[in-house]
Amino acid sequence: MDGNKKQAIQEDTAARLRAAGLRPTRPRVALASLLLGRGHRHLTAETLHAEAAKAGVRVSLATVYNALHQFTEAGLLRQVVVDAARSYFDTNTGEHQHFFCEDDGRLIDIPGDAIAVSHVPAPPRGMAVRRVDVVVRIKRG
Amino acid sequence: MDGNKKQAIQEDTAARLRAAGLRPTRPRVALASLLLGRGHRHLTAETLHAEAAKAGVRVSLATVYNALHQFTEAGLLRQVVVDAARSYFDTNTGEHQHFFCEDDGRLIDIPGDAIAVSHVPAPPRGMAVRRVDVVVRIKRG
DNA sequence: TCAACAGTTTAGAATTATTCCAAAGAAGAA
DNA sequence: TTCTTCTTTGGAATAATTCTAAACTGTTGA
Ligand SMILES: [Mn+2]
Ligand SMILES: [Mn+2]
Ligand SMILES: [Zn+2]
Ligand SMILES: [Zn+2]
């Protein structure tokens, strides 16, 4: 990727962060560029940290965790809970669901209009539905 | 609960464990009796450990974890993943789904015949669907 | 009845993911 | 610039869970 394009992406990213009420600091711009640059992805804090390192961005793991949570709060990411051991973050914030491969821990998107959940009962009085998550657990065989 | 009834429950439990290929040891019988005695419940290792202690059963936390996993493997329990922080176990192994209250971490059953997931796409070639989990996340307000 | 083996329990250490902390650094406003 | 407010960060702290190796117990078959 040439320098001009990279800079353009970063300015775009900075604008998104500012719009979300987050200071476009060097670490945040770098992480957000990595995250939001290349289509939809599912990744963990460790994954992102490693990817940043490979891209020559030196950020602490604490900063990666901070950024992931702040981005999620800001609606730039969505957190996916499928495995008790680790937390996944999803750059696809649109309505969709997931296959979760129990063999290798991989997540695969299921378009939101492909799947339908019907007859969800009303929640207990005083409670509001925040989201309906569907996880289709799959395995080899 | 009188002694006779308690003993009857324990003999019943021992039989279930034996049928599942698990030696009916004192800790396992005690835990299984607590778990399978009183209707459907959702609980964590800590919860069960505390409950055992209150019932006068001294078992280590390691044993609680072992038992929960073995019981799950044997089909006496089902594990529910809704919160990245802790693992829930469900004494209801029938087909059903859950409300998850994000305020207090409580799980509420949704009968399996009340909810329906349709148009689940076929999994990738060579993969089989193990289960479809639906979590309706709710909160106050 | 009981030895002997295999499976089980357990205390405590280890592991792992994640969060916390307090000091040093960087961004925005003036 | 200068000042103020966020941010970042290395390292310590947490918390859930797993591991380990030694002690213990259920089962079996002499
Ligand atoms: Mn996608
Ligand atoms: Mn954890
Ligand atoms: Zn996704
Ligand atoms: Zn349930």
Is B116 near chain A, with CB under 8 Å?
yes
The mean per-residue pLDDT over the stretch A95-114 comes to: 95
Residue A66 has a pLDDT of 98
Contacts of B137 in chain A (CB under 8 A): 129-133
Residue A6 has a pLDDT of 75
Q: How far is residue B118's CA from residue A78's CA, in Å, rounded to a whole number?
A: 23
Residue B1 has a pLDDT of 58
Q: Return the closest-CA partner of residue A24 out of A67, A77, A53.
A: A67
User: Which residue has tokens 């329906």?
Assistant: B116
Residue B3 has a pLDDT of 62
Q: Return the closest-CA partner of residue A34 out of A89, A74, A83.
A: A89
Fold for B3-83, please state it.
Arc Repressor Mutant, subunit A (1.10.10)
Q: Are B78 and B90 in contact (CB under 8 A)?
A: yes
Is B19 near chain A, with CB under 8 Å?
no
Residue-wise pLDDT tens digits, A43-77: 999 999 999 999 999 999 999 999 999 999 999 99
Alpha-carbon A115 to chain mean position = 20
Facing residues of A89 across strands?
A43, A79
Residue B68 has a pLDDT of 98
Maximum C-alpha span of chain B: 56
What is the overall mean pLDDT for chain B? 94
Q: What is the dihedral of CA B89, B91, B97, B103, to 10 degrees?
A: -50
Q: Are B91 and B41 in contact (CB under 8 A)?
A: yes
The mean per-residue pLDDT over the stretch B113-127 comes to: 95
Residue B8 has a pLDDT of 82
Cβ-Cβ contacts under 8 Å for B19 (sequence gap 6 or more) = none
Residue A18 has a pLDDT of 97
User: Which residue has tokens 């989990």?
Assistant: B133
Residue A10 has a pLDDT of 85
| Test mutation, A120, A125, A129, A140, chain B, max B CBs within 10 A | A120
The mean per-residue pLDDT over the stretch B90-112 comes to: 96
Is A15 near chain B, with CB under 8 Å?
no
The mean per-residue pLDDT over the stretch B10-21 comes to: 93
Q: How far is residue A91's CA from residue A65's CA, in Å, rounded to a whole number?
A: 15
Domain ranges of chain B: 3-83, 95-138
What is the overall mean pLDDT for chain A? 94
pLDDT band at B98; cut points 50, 70, 90? very high
How many residues appear in chain A?
141
Smallest CA–CA distance from B135 into chain A, residue: A133
Asked if B87's CB is within 8 angstroms of A110's CB, the reply is no
Residue-wise pLDDT tens digits, B60-88: 999 999 999 999 999 999 999 999 999 99
**In the A/B pair of chains, how many CB contacts fall below 8 A?**
120
Q: Say if residue A47 is exposed, middle or buried (CB neighbours under 10 Å; 0-12, 13-18, 19+).
A: middle
The secondary structure of residue B23, as a DSSP letter, is -
Three-point CA angle A101, A103, B121, nearest 5°? 25
Residue-wise pLDDT tens digits, B18-57: 999 999 999 999 999 999 878 899 999 999 999 999 999 9
Residue B95 has a pLDDT of 96
Residue A2 has a pLDDT of 65
